[in-house]
Amino acid sequence: MKFKTLQSLTFLTFILTGFQLGGCSSENTADQSENGAPEFIDFKNVNVVEGSTNVAILKALDPEGDSLIFDIYGGDDAGLFSIDSTTGELSFITSPNASFPIDADRNNIFNIEVSVSDDTSTVIRDIEITLAAPSNQAPYFVNTSFITATIGFTAITTLVANDPNNDTLNYSITAGVDADLFTINAVNGNLSFKTLPDETTPSDANQDNIYSIEVSVSDGIINTKQAFTITLLKAFDNALYNASDALRGGRLYDKWWKVKSVAVPIDNNPIWDAVIAQIPSNKNGNNGM
């Protein structure tokens, strides 16, 4: 009976000892496999200017030095962005325009959730991206300051200007000694004489058929002004006059003119526009009749 009791105690001791050892072994395994979660660094909301898809490069560190994976986790505007899973480079899928908001609240403030993972632990953070229009830049004229006009027409040319911000532009004649003789279309920049000019009785201030005006183009915030000189020229009255003849010299109003340059006919009109000629010359190009 005593032997049986001792045998029972020995068996019980073995069970308790095994349980205790097993518990220690399990605890040591947990300590060795514990993983530290990655952390975002220099994480902050972002302000971007329209005109580019680039937003920011997200950065993170992992305690164990594990490779990290970046992702867009969610958010109201998640579908408008992409991210490089390796580098953390966050971008708009298409370049946004501040004038036409596409975020969920239509206020140019985009809200998304981004995540970083070491393939064991994942950390999620909210990020706010605010879109702003670029600082306003002045419009500028494309045309040269020297313009030619052809006798017999009120239309002169179309002034063209560009705006770096793609703003709508407005044209106006703002100054110049001959400003009152001209009109301009505020929308498309078409410049014209108010009345048909007469070369025999010049109406410009200097009475030499050379007119001076100043034109302004505005984007609604900035005005750009440019002076223009408009020279009134005779048109060739010979409908068959061609470019090769023009380069050699042609007969005009009973005089031979040595032509320096000639433009292409407009809309197949036989009247040549912008013909620039020197003083009267003979047929061989020498000065005189």
Q: What is the mean pLDDT of residues 9-28?
A: 39
User: What are 210-225's pLDDT values in tens digits?
Assistant: 999 999 999 999 999 9
Q: How many CA atoms lie within 13 A of 248 on its CB side?
A: 6
Residue ranges, CATH 2.60.40.60, the chain: 39-132, 135-231
Q: What is the pLDDT of residues 193-202, one digit of tens each?
A: 999 998 889 9
Q: How confident is the model at residue 27 (pLDDT cuts 50, 70, 90)?
A: very low
Residue (of 172, 174, 178, 204) closest to 190 by Cα position: 172
Give residue 33's pLDDT. Answer: 62
**Predicted pLDDT at 23:** 40
**Dihedral (CA of 112, 118, 123, 125) sign:** negative
CA distance 53 to 81: 9
Side chain identity at 166, as an amino acid letter? N
In the chain, the percentage of residues whose pLDDT exceeds 90 is: 58
The pTM of this model reads: 0.47
> What CATH homologous superfamily does 39-132 map to?
Cadherins (2.60.40.60)
| Domain with residues 135-231, CATH architecture | Sandwich (2.60)
State mean pLDDT over 157-181.
95
